[in-house]
A and B are shown apart, each in its own frame.
Chain A
């Protein structure tokens, strides 16, 4: 794992693990999983918050020769059940808090472990399974445009390649101390762990982005060198009084992904924290990371997400599949050892997001996002091809929110749109119309959504209309609805 076994690998609150301890704990979990009958290549779901147990679980599963499937512990029971069934999890590692929901959602065949400290206690350490590059390492679920979760399959080769590529362009070393408030169940968060462990850096792990003052304290007291963030985190930090006056001499690295940063925010970050290099990046679960803007360009091209990550290639195509020149908008295509193998349980050959590449054995990834590039080859995100919303750096499928609204008695039509919002990136606005004779209360509908959906999917605004506006073909006029803001 690292050349310095006694160095701290991960800090979480008052607890910490050295590399040697992480190694030992991962071996224990691996032995425990083997004892439960988890075989090579089987999937183990991890329904755990950001804490040492999650870190140990990730490496324990890999060492057992199995693949991990990280799931945010705030996932609602119905979705959890769909994911556990889709991935046919052989075991689920969770904590006492989520044990009850997991027990309801998991198949009776799955082993449920609600305290990983008990796993493999007293078991003889195994030799560890010899996995090689093409073996399955992880299945990470992402929302498809229809709202149903799809499991991105990643091999050991996929993951180690991306981790090395990121370490290279961020120039990470074992002296780095990275503060991670992003969920480890999310690719952007997970790679903070994978890159730190791989290069021997220290990961300072928080349960989430809670009280902003806590983050400032950690930046100072834990001598943080790198802060990976999504736009909402930057917006909150920049809104604080006093940040510009802080020295933060250790902070050398800021990264943004999950959603684009508006240009004024980029400028404000540069003015407030001029000594930290700002990396504007773009990625998606299907290959984890696509491109990054070298920080020297941030002042000159603040709206660009840069160039392909090292060892990969990107280009922009028109609808006929022909590459287009500078200034022309088309779909971004991605080629390299980071491209996923397909979605779990589906035939990769029939998958629209993958296409045959330059060689007959090769598959390239269609990003599904529209981009253009400038004369120097730097990339600019234009829009999504589908109608997915990006709120707080997370993807939200309007369909999934609409289904939740439809599940409320008395809702006849529901349309959910994303509306630009200074803090959230996009705010989620829901427009509904009632069945005849029914009165709908927006607050009650928001509560209903909060009970059915993860918090980042709950609409900030619900507007009740007598009728939803429609275009000529009878479809709901989403564009018009997107223009209806707070009234």
Chain B
């Protein structure tokens, strides 16, 4: 199966934001999270949060994530997660 799971880039952005809001952000209702905001520096996720994000990306988009890819460059903000997913779906 090589069919691409999930929808367009815009859908990914909406889904990633919803996942972060449901799982991490409900603890900080006053935070207005921008797509480029640093999730680690803002204290929204920690190392366990990265693991949860990776599991979500793997299961929802069928994208296998290697250990060394779980960096701030790839998972540090909504923008970077969307970019990472798009890149992996284009060239898995």
- List chain A positions with a Cβ less than 8 A from chain B: 208-214, 216-217, 220, 232-233, 236-237, 239-243, 246, 423-424, 443, 446-447, 450, 455, 458
Q: List B contacts of A240 (CB < 8 A).
A: 67, 70
45-77 of chain B: CB within 8 A of chain A:
46-48, 50-51, 64-72, 74-76
Question: A233 near B67 (CB under 8 angstroms)?
Answer: no
Closest to A456 in B: B46
Please tell me which one of the listed residues A213, A214, A217, A236 contacts residue B48 in the complex, with CB atoms under 8 A apart: A236
Closest to B40 in A: A210
**Bound CA–CA A151/B40 (angstroms):** 30
Knowing A443-B26, A446-B27, A447-B28, say if A239 contacts B68 (CB, 8 Å): no
**Bound CA–CA A458/B29 (angstroms):** 16
Does B7 have its Cβ within 8 Å of any Cβ on chain A?
no
Q: List A contacts of B67 (CB < 8 A).
A: 212-213, 216, 237, 240-243, 246
**Bound CA–CA A220/B68 (angstroms):** 10
Question: B68 near A216 (CB under 8 angstroms)?
Answer: yes
Question: B71 near A232 (CB under 8 angstroms)?
Answer: no
Knowing A211-B76, A446-B27, A447-B27, say if A423 contacts B48 (CB, 8 Å): yes
Does B36 have its Cβ within 8 Å of any Cβ on chain A?
no
What are 23 A-B interface contacts by the 8 Å CB criterion?
Answer: A210-B46, A210-B72, A211-B75, A212-B70, A213-B67, A214-B71, A216-B67, A216-B68, A232-B47, A233-B47, A236-B47, A236-B48, A236-B51, A237-B67, A239-B51, A241-B67, A242-B66, A243-B67, A443-B27, A446-B27, A447-B28, A447-B29, A455-B46
Most buried by A among B40, B46, B72, B76: B46
Chain B: interface size category: 20 to 34
B5-41: CB near A (< 8 Å → 1, else 0) gives 0000000000000000000001111000000000010
**Bound CA–CA A363/B50 (angstroms):** 46
Question: A212 near B43 (CB under 8 angstroms)?
Answer: no
Q: List A contacts of B69 (CB < 8 A).
A: 213
